[in-house]
Homo-oligomer: A and B are copies of this chain.
Amino acid sequence: MIVPLPAHVVDDLVRRTLAEDLGLAGDVSTDTAIAAGAHGVAEIVARHAGTVAGLDVALAVFPAVDRAVTAAAQVAEGDRVGAGSVLARVQGPTRALLTGERAALNLLGHASGIATATRAVVDAVAGSGARIVDTRKTTPGLRALEKHAVRCGGGHNHRFGLFDAVMLKDNHLIAAGGIAPAVAAVRAQVGHTVHIEVEVDHLGQVHEALAAGADSILLDNLGDDDLRTAVGLVAGRAITEASGGITPERAAAVAATGVDVISLGWLTHSAPRLDVALELLPSDGS
């Protein structure tokens, strides 16, 4: 069961996407070539196999163009679908189907691309106990949708922003005089529900981070052997996260080191879209 996007996020994405595509003049092609009274039925199909995400928000596009459109999902968020699968059926005024097409497909294709990429990595580490998580390397304005897409792909979310968890990196540690004083300063000020993660870039810092009481330790750019050693050092006293240049190909090896969490910026900043299309069904001749 995938945690859904909040309604106000869906509304905002739909409104913004449509306003960008329609501007003030609207769909001049459709409004001048297609009769206002024409009705049609269309299917949204996946042209390649993948994992679905963003279908709910994509389908919300059509009634926002014209309330007379009804849209029915044929698959659920997070479902794996084969090439040619029908993802949804949309019907109503033909104009609205064509006008909403690109906005809907851009939302769906982008999110499903991320879900598909995530699913591949999640599958690659299956059985290992390691979680695949996203980062804050998201596309501006789309963090909620992209993190939802990661969930649809079987991944988990890292923090949503600078506001909901602490991550102490090099610069924080240097400025604060080391791991111990940094964690202490932060712990003293943040709320008791705020998780503190410390980034370390060599094994020597792992003990420091543990001693300082870090909730998680981000093992940045370590090789697989060092990751395995680090996991042993930590021994369950903190959550271990591997990060930094982890490609989908390398994920399984990293998972085998025993880390709890593997984060990949690539999922949200560079996954190619899933190819999806809207096909207007021929009206029957009866």
Tell yes or no: A115 within 8 A of B by CB: no
Residues of chain A in range 155-207 having any CB-CB distance to chain B below 8 Å:
156-168, 171-173, 175-176, 182, 185-186, 188-195, 197
- Known interface pairs A7-B66, A29-B167; A94-B175 also in contact (CB < 8 Å): yes
Closest to A66 in B: B7
Closest to A181 in B: B33
Tell yes or no: A211 within 8 A of B by CB: no
Expressed in whole angstroms, the Cα–Cα distance for A28 and B185 within the complex equals 11
Asked if A33 contacts B176 (CB within 8 A), the reply is yes
- Known interface pairs A38-B175, A139-B110, A193-B164; A3-B26 also in contact (CB < 8 Å): yes
Q: Contacts of A102 on B, CB cut-off 8 Å?
A: 136-137, 162
Tell yes or no: A142 within 8 A of B by CB: yes
Tell yes or no: A280 within 8 A of B by CB: yes
Bitwise interface map of A from 14 to 31 toward B, beta carbon under 8 Å scored 1, else 0: 011111111111111111
Q: Contacts of A15 on B, CB cut-off 8 Å?
A: 8
Asked if B172 contacts A7 (CB within 8 A), the reply is no
Instruction: Give, as a whole number of angstroms, the nearest-CB distance from A47 to chain B.
Output: 10
Instruction: Give, as a whole number of angstroms, the nearest-CB distance from A22 to chain B.
Output: 5
Q: Contacts of A173 on B, CB cut-off 8 Å?
A: 33
Residues of chain A in range 93-138 having any CB-CB distance to chain B below 8 Å:
94, 98-99, 102-103, 105-107, 109-110, 113, 131, 133, 136-138
Tell yes or no: A140 within 8 A of B by CB: yes
Q: Contacts of A280 on B, CB cut-off 8 Å?
A: 171
Asked if A191 contacts B23 (CB within 8 A), the reply is no
Surface stretch bound by B, among A81-89, A223-231, A250-258, A265-273: A265-273
A-B contact pairs, 26 of them (CB 8 A): A1-B189, A3-B25, A16-B140, A21-B143, A23-B160, A24-B143, A25-B157, A32-B185, A32-B186, A98-B171, A98-B172, A102-B162, A109-B137, A110-B269, A113-B269, A113-B270, A133-B191, A156-B190, A156-B191, A157-B190, A157-B191, A165-B193, A192-B195, A192-B239, A193-B197, A269-B272
